[in-house]
A and B are shown apart, each in its own frame.
Chain A
Amino acid sequence: MIRDNSETILSVKGLIASIDETPILKGMNLEIKAGEIHAIMGPNGSGKSTFSKVLAGHPDYEVTGGEVSYLGQNLLELEPEDRSRSGVFLAFQYPLEIPGVSNLDFLRVAYNSKRKFAGLEELDPFDFDDLVEQKLEVVKMDAAFLNRSVNEGFSGGEKKRNEILQMAILEPKLAILDETDSGLDIDALRIVAGGVNQLSTPDNAMLVITHYQRLLDYIIPDYVHVMANGRILRTGGKELALELEERGYDWVLEAEAVAS
C-alpha cells in the first residue's frame, strides 16, 4: 500500500530516552508514512516497549535527545491524552485492570474525549451503544464484556482482544501494537489479526511489535526493523522476519558489531 507521495505520519530522529537515569533508547530513527505497516522485532529488553511508551508519553521516561514529529507537529510537546486524541493509539503489552469502571463507560468516555477534542458533539449513550455493537463484530467479542470492569479478571487473550476493540472504536491514525499476539490462541490470533487488517486504511499506519513471524503471516508488513540495545540495527522487507525466524538475532548483532 506504499505510495511515494503519502503523507508522513511519524518521523523519529535520534531519539534518546532514559528511565531513572538509565538510558534505554539510544538513538532511534524511524519514518512511517500513511498506509504503511511496520514491524519491530528484537531481543527481550531491547527497548521496544520503551519506545512505544515514549511515543505515547508515559511520564516515567525522560527524553534527553532527538525529535519526534507526528503529522508535522512536535509529538513530545503534547500531553499523553492529547496524543491519544490526535490519533496515537497504543495497544499495551500488559493492559491494565481498572476495577469498578465498566468497560462500556470507559469506551464511551474515551470516544467522547476524542470527539470533543475534534470539536464534535459527544455521542449520547444510545448512539454509542449502536457503535459499540458494530465494533464488537470486528474482534468477535461477546457483549457481556462491556458490563464488566475494564480488563478485570479478563484472561490474557481477552485483554488483548479488548485492546483491539478500543482501537476499533478510536480509529487511530497511528496504531502501535505491542505484542498483541502474545497470549492469543490460534483462532484468536486469526480473528484479532483480521480485525487489525480491517482497521488498516491508506490513511493510517501501524507499528507492530512482535517476536513471532506467525502474526506477520496475517498482518503483512511493508518494513521489518530489528531493534537491539535501544536502536534499530537493520531494516528490511517482510522477508527479514522469515530470516530472523530461521537464524535468530545473533547474526544481526554480530554484523552490527563488525560495522561499528
Chain B
Amino acid sequence: MSTSVKSLVNQPYKYGFVTDIESDTIPAGLSEDVIRLISAKKNEPEFMLEFRLKAYRQWLKMEEPNWAEVGYPPIDYQNIVYYSAPKVTEKKKSLDEVDPTLLETFEKLGIPLSEQKRLSNVAVDAIFDSVSVATTFKEKLAEHGVIFCPISEALQEYPDLVQKYLGSVVPVADNYFAALNSAVFSDGSFVFIPKGVKCPMELSTYFRINNGESGQFERTLIVAEEGSQVSYLEGCTAPMYDSNQLHAAVVELVALDDAEIKYSTVQNWYAGDAEGKGGIYNFVTKRGLCQGKNSKISWTQVETGSAITWKYPSCVLVGDNSVGEFYSVALTNNRQQADTGTKMVHIGRNTRSTIVSKGISAGQSENSYRGLVKIGPKAEGARNYSQCDSMLIGDNAGANTFPYIQVQNNSAKVEHEASTSKIGEDQLFYFAQRGISMEDAIAMMISGFCRDVFNQLPMEFAVEADKLLALKLEGSVG
C-alpha cells in the first residue's frame, strides 16, 4: 500500500488513564490461604469457600491450554494480584457516599453514575478493579422483582439463589481459566428476573481494570425464570500499562421455559501498543444454557480491544424449540490476536441456532474464527445457519476460519457460508475522488460490513459501537 494510505496516524487509546485511589490489595500469589483470605474479606457463606477451594484444587491439576492460533509468553500465576479493591470502610447506601474519584473515573469513561446524568433507561453496575462500586436504578428494578446487584452482595442477601445456579452452566473445572476464575473471582454482577417479568430497562455492567498488577476475574450470573425477558450489556476498558494484565471472566446464563436473555458486549480493553507491548489477555468463558422449552439466548459482541482474546460465547440448547444466536464483530489491529467464535450445542428437539461472525483484521493482526456446531442424537429437526465474513485491511493482516461441525442426527440441517473481502486501495481512491476522506471511507465500509451485527445491539450502543470501530481503525491502513 502507498505511503499516503499508510500515513494516517493511530488514534491513541483514550481510556488509558490511571485513577489514583487508595486500594486494599493483597500481595501477589495464589494459594489456599489466599483463597481463604478473599472469601473471608468478602464475608462469604461456607458453600462459597468450598466452591472456591474445589475449583482451586482442580485447577492445580489442570494444564494451561496451548492454542495453535494465539501465541503469548507464559503467564506467571504467582505474580498476579488476586484481590484489589478501592478502600472502603462500610457499604455504601447511596451514590452520594461513593468516592467522588471513582464517580469521576466513570464519568470520564462516559458512564455517568450520578442521579442527574445517568443514562436513561439503562441500569448500570460499575465494577472497578474487582469490586462493584455502584449500581443505579436499584429501587425501580426492585419494584418489578428484578434483582440486579454485585454478586458479592447477592451472596449475602440471596445465597440460596446463587448456590442453586452458580457453576450450573460452567462447572468449576470446565477449563483452565474457568477453574481459576471459580477459585478467585472477587465480584461481578448478579441478575435475577422472576417468572413472567419483562425487565423494564437495559441492564449494564461496566468493568474497569485500574491496578497494574491485578488480574481481573469477574463472575456474572444471569437467571431468567419462566417467560421472563432481559437485555444485558457489558462494557470494559483499562489503563495502559507496559506489562500484560490477565482478565479471566466467567459468565453464566440460565433461561427457563419461554425466557429470553440477550447479552451484548462492547469490549474495549487496552490492546497494547503498536509493537505489541502491554495490553490485556482476555481469556473468557461465556456460556448460556437454554434449559427450558422455547427459551432463547442471544450473544452479541463487539470485540475491539485486548492484546489477546480467547473467547467463545456458547449456547447449550437443552429445551425443545430453544434458540441460540451469536452475532459478533471482532476487530484486530497492530499486533492483536483474537481467537473467537462460538459453540452451539443442540440437545433438544427442533432447536435452532444462528451464527453471524464478522472479523476485521488490520495492521499485522491475526483474527481467527472458531465455531463448533454440535447436533446431538436426540436433536430431531435441529437447524443451524452460520455465516462468517472476514475483511482484511492492508496487506499484512490475517484471517482464519475454522468451522467444526458434528452432526449425530440425520434430520438436522446445518448451513455454513463464508467470505473474505479486502478494503482495496482502488476503493479508497474512488471515495477520495468523490471528496470523501479515508477515515470516512473506512468507517462507511466497516459500518456496512458490520450492519447485521450492529442491528442486534441495543440502540444506545449501536451508535457507540460504530464510532468505536472507526476510532480503532484510524491509521490502520497500510
Contact = CB atoms under 8 A, between A and B. Distances in A.
A98 B436 contact: no
A180 interface: no
Contacts of B421: 99
B430 A98 contact: yes
B440 A109 contact: yes
B427 A81 contact: no
A234 to B, nearest CB: 29
Interface in A55-80: 56-60, 79-80
A188 interface: no
Given A106-B444, A109-B444, A149-B448, A98 B434 contact: no
A144 to B, nearest CB: 18
B116 interface: no
A100 interface: yes
Given A79-B4, A99-B421, A101-B444, A109 B430 contact: no
Interface in A83-122: 83-85, 89-90, 92, 95-96, 98-102, 105-106, 109-110, 113-114, 117
B429 A106 contact: no
A166 interface: yes
B192 to A, nearest CB: 40
Contact of B436 (A59, A81, A83): A81
A170 interface: yes
Contact of A113 (B425, B437, B448): B437
B230 to A, nearest CB: 31
Given A99-B448, A101-B448, A110 B436 contact: yes
Contacts of B4: 59, 79
B161 to A, nearest CB: 44
Interface residues of B, number: 24
B436 A113 contact: yes
Contacts of A113: 434-437, 440
A49 to B, nearest CB: 12
B445 A101 contact: yes
Contacts of A105: 444
Contact of B430 (A60, A92, A149, A170): A92
A97 to B, nearest CB: 8
Interface in B398-452: 421, 425-427, 429-438, 440, 444-445, 447-449, 451
A81 B430 contact: no
Contacts of B2: 59-60
B343 to A, nearest CB: 28
A64 to B, nearest CB: 16
B472 to A, nearest CB: 18
B360 to A, nearest CB: 12
Of A59, A60, A95, A105, chain B has the most CB atoms within 10 Å of the CB of: A59
Interface string B47-76: 000000000000000000000000000000
A121 to B, nearest CB: 16
Contacts of B435: 81, 84-85, 110, 113-114, 117, 170
A109 B433 contact: no
A95 B434 contact: no
Given A59-B2, A96-B426, A98-B430, 10 more contacts: A80-B429, A92-B433, A98-B448, A99-B421, A100-B448, A101-B448, A109-B436, A113-B436, A113-B437, A113-B440
Which 7 residue pairs spanning A and B have beta carbons closest together?
Answer: A100-B448, A59-B2, A110-B434, A80-B432, A84-B435, A113-B435, A96-B430
